[in-house]
Amino acid sequence: MNGAYIRFRIMAWVAGIMSLILWFVDIPVKYFLTVPFLEDKIDWIPIVHGYQFPIYIITVMELSYRLKWDVIKIVKFILAGTLPVASFLAEKKVRAIYNSSK
């Protein structure tokens, strides 16, 4: 389980950072500021987010298989990857579960 735990922690941080960038940089610049110069500079953000999120889901599924989570818990952890800060909280919760199982 150690490998699945480490992979999840890394992807939870990546998902959290990418969600923050997407919600607080990409979306405001594209839909509220409408500055063409900045829009060209941030075109990569949704692409990177789109590639990293399925990897996050795979790490959640792997961890849930090893920890034998029910479907509700799996869905909660997957949804945590969509909201800024929620994936950081999910990572903290998994860290507590992992440390208590040692």
Contact 45, 76 (CB under 8 A): no
User: 32 vs 6, 18, 26, 39, CA distance in Å?
Assistant: 37, 19, 10, 11
Q: Report the distance separating Cα 16 and Cα 13, nearest Å.
A: 5
Contact 25, 97 (CB under 8 A): no
Please report which helix (H) or strand (E) contains residue 31, including its range: none
pTM of the complete model: 0.88
Q: Report the distance separating Cα 17 and Cα 21, nearest Å.
A: 6
Residue span of the structural domain in which 25 resides: 2-101
Q: What is the pLDDT of residues 60-85, one digit of tens each?
A: 999 999 999 999 999 999 999 998 89
Number of domains the chain is built from? 1
Q: What is the pLDDT of residues 4-27, one digit of tens each?
A: 999 999 999 999 999 999 999 999
Is residue 96 classed exposed, middle or buried when 0-12, 13-18 and 19+ CB atoms within 10 A define those classes?
exposed
Of 5, 14, 2, which Cα lies nearest the Cα of 60? Answer: 5
